[in-house]
Chain A
Amino acid sequence: MALAKRETNIEQREVVVGTTKGSPGRPIASMILLALSFVSMMIAIGMIFLYVPTDAIEGIPQRIFYFHVPVAWIGMLAFGVLAIGGIGYLWKKDERWDWLARASAEIGAVFITLALITGSIWGRTTWGTWWTWDARLTTTLILWFIYIGYMMLRSYMGRTPASARSAAVLGIIGVIDVPIIYESVNWWRTLHPQPEVGVPGALPPSVVLTLMVSLLSFTLLYSFLMIQVYQLQKMQTLAQRMRASVE
């Protein structure tokens, strides 16, 4: 009876570290993404401040919309990627999925914080209050707490397989829960109407175009950052491993 040798990825990684194939961090892809996101960000900023006409009702501050929406969107997307990384890790037991999840968590937390800040500022300029319990902003706040919980969990549990597994489960539960949270807050809001941070009604084409460009540029930025932070996670893991084998 021949038994196949089955190596888990911890051992396979040890072989790869010897070569420097993956180590420099895919410089070409990185450079391209950096260039693309820079260019599109410049275009977006140009469009936001020069191209799009000033909103009739809200005035100049309404332009925050073009920052707030993409940033909030990326915050949600990052959480989805985090959950996918978690599922991938549970399924394949390959720590690279965990690096993906951790990277997305760090970046996503920053974007969600920005979403809260821009949303708050926008609410202030529109309604005069620094906070409003509307469905989207509230859900963003709760997602922020889930991100923080995720980071705390990872911090307390360290860089272990147990930490990766627990975090993956948290990601899965979170990603399923967020739509339910949104719906429940929405229902609640209809009973206590809140000032809404949003742009009601149909949007003129120039607005849509600017929004799309802004969204694209932030997504490119996210992708670029993902590669960097992923490489960082990889380096940290390998460094800790080498240190432990020496001690």
Chain B
Amino acid sequence: MMIFLEQVMAILWKDVRYELRSKQMWTGMGLFAILVLVIFNFAFDLRVDNKAAVAPGALWVAFVFASMLGLGRTIAAEREKGSMDRLLLCPVDRKAIYLAKLLGNMLFIGVVEIVALPIFAALFDIPLFVGVFLPVVLLGTLGIAAVGTLFSAMAAATRARELLLPILVFPLIVPIVIGAVRVTGSLMVPTANEPPWLGLIAAFDIIFLSVSMLTFEYVVEE
């Protein structure tokens, strides 16, 4: 068990160092998320009265699109240079590889979220860090990344990976998007009789994290 976790950390640390030293994705993704929010502001012509209706959606659309950009990253890095063979050559558990990639993706998406959230709060003039906000962002991101990491490995083998990844992932993460937007919305404007969205997202996360972890080796091995 300890060895497993050590290997996960080793791969994660290696990926983080790789990204830091090649300096490619971070700034782009952060900028992208902010731009999406700004465009939403114009597209929906937000006034005080309709802000609450649109803001949660805008936030999560920005997160989902930024996630799609970031998801390709860790897998593409391996695939480009002699593919994931470097890792597959070693007797390292494929589940550990998946977890490391997942955590790496969450880290990158997390950085974007940390950048985008204060901007979001400022642009839409909305107080955010209350109640279950951080949990829903965390759990929602986990769900998107859990499914996305698996499918970016799949799509990486094809020519049209940037196109295929959203086509495969968007339908599957519908429950997360619905739930996360509802929870975010009800934080801004409390509503009664909300179904247990957070529980649904958590269940989604547990289920798909497990399934992805188990099926990852079939996707990634030759």
* Any A CB within 8 A of the CB of B132: no
B interface, over-half SS? helix
Give 1 or 0 for each of B12-31: 1 = CB within 8 Å of chain A CB: 00000000000000000000
The answer to whether A180 and B175 have CB atoms under 8 Å apart is: yes
The answer to whether B147 and A184 have CB atoms under 8 Å apart is: no
The answer to whether B218 and A169 have CB atoms under 8 Å apart is: yes
**How far apart sit A170 and B218, CA to CA, in the bound complex (Å)?**
11
The tally of CB-CB contacts under 8 A between chains A and B is 89
* Any A CB within 8 A of the CB of B134: no
Complex interface: stretch among B58-66, B73-81, B157-165 = B157-165
A182, closest chain B residue (CB):
B175
B172 contacts across to A, CB distance below 8 A: 146, 173-174, 177, 181
Give 1 or 0 for each of B164-203: 1 = CB within 8 Å of chain A CB: 1001101110110011001000000000001101001001
B179 contacts across to A, CB distance below 8 A: 184
* Any B CB within 8 A of the CB of A183: yes
**How far apart sit A132 and B204, CA to CA, in the bound complex (Å)?**
26
**How far apart sit A176 and B158, CA to CA, in the bound complex (Å)?**
25
The answer to whether A188 and B178 have CB atoms under 8 Å apart is: yes
Q: How far is the CB of B2 from chain A (nearest CB, A)?
A: 29
**How far apart sit A183 and B200, CA to CA, in the bound complex (Å)?**
9
The answer to whether B218 and A187 have CB atoms under 8 Å apart is: no
**How far apart sit A76 and B39, CA to CA, in the bound complex (Å)?**
38
A188 contacts across to B, CB distance below 8 A: 178, 182
B170 contacts across to A, CB distance below 8 A: 145
Complex interface: stretch among A42-50, A149-157, A215-223 = A149-157
The answer to whether A173 and B147 have CB atoms under 8 Å apart is: yes
Q: How far is the CB of B93 from chain A (nearest CB, A)?
A: 18
Task: Identify which of A156, A170, A180, A191 contacts B204 (C-beta below 8 A).
Answer: A180
* Any B CB within 8 A of the CB of A185: yes
A185-B174 contact in complex given A152-B167, A169-B150, A169-B154, C-beta closer than 8 Å: yes
The answer to whether B195 and A187 have CB atoms under 8 Å apart is: yes
Complex interface: stretch among B41-49, B106-114, B123-131, B207-215 = B207-215
The answer to whether A149 and B168 have CB atoms under 8 Å apart is: yes
A170 contacts across to B, CB distance below 8 A: 151, 154, 168
A148 contacts across to B, CB distance below 8 A: 167
A169-B219 contact in complex given A184-B178, A184-B200, A185-B174, C-beta closer than 8 Å: yes
B200 contacts across to A, CB distance below 8 A: 180, 183-184, 187
Q: Can you identify 29 A-B contacts, CB atoms within 8 angstroms?
A: A90-B218, A146-B172, A153-B155, A156-B158, A156-B164, A157-B158, A162-B157, A162-B222, A166-B154, A168-B218, A169-B215, A169-B218, A170-B151, A170-B168, A173-B147, A173-B150, A173-B172, A174-B172, A177-B175, A177-B208, A180-B200, A180-B207, A183-B175, A183-B200, A187-B178, A187-B195, A187-B197, A187-B200, A191-B195
| A-B pairs with lowest CB-CB distance, top 8 | A184-B175, A156-B158, A187-B195, A145-B171, A169-B215, A149-B168, A165-B218, A166-B154
Chain A contacts to B: CB under 8 angstroms:
90, 142-143, 145-146, 148-149, 152-153, 156-157, 162, 165-166, 168-170, 172-174, 176-177, 180-181, 183-185, 187-188, 190-191
Interface contacts beyond A170-B151, A183-B175, A191-B182: sample of 15 additional A-B pairs, CB < 8 Å, sorted by A = A145-B167, A145-B171, A153-B154, A153-B168, A157-B157, A169-B150, A169-B215, A172-B215, A173-B211, A176-B208, A177-B208, A180-B207, A184-B200, A187-B195, A188-B178
